Amino acid sequence: MGIGTSILLIAIGAILKFAVTASVSGVSLATVGVILMIVGVLGLLISLIVGGYWTRRGYPPPPDPLL
């Protein structure tokens, strides 16, 4: 899951939690919204950690052709 997908899940979860007043029998939309927000935050953290790991590794610079 990428950063964009994580942010999308957080946004959809927030909409379900705070803006939707409709009810569905057998399903609490507020609970589904909270679950989506939690999954989105976890995905965002994992994406940032893994992305940060790969960018911090670094590679040695290429050799100077003039030497």
pTM reported for the whole predicted model: 0.75
Q: Specify the pLDDT at position 8.
A: 96
Q: Specify the pLDDT at position 54.
A: 59
| pLDDT averaged over 10-residue windows placed end to end, the chain, 67 residues | 92 95 90 96 91 63 72
Cβ burial, residue 16 (10 Å; 0-12/13-18/19+): buried
Q: Are 44 and 9 in contact (CB under 8 A)?
A: no
The three-class DSSP label of residue 12 is helix
Structure tokens that stand for 13 in this block: 């979860």
Q: Specify the pLDDT at position 53.
A: 60
Q: Specify the pLDDT at position 38.
A: 97
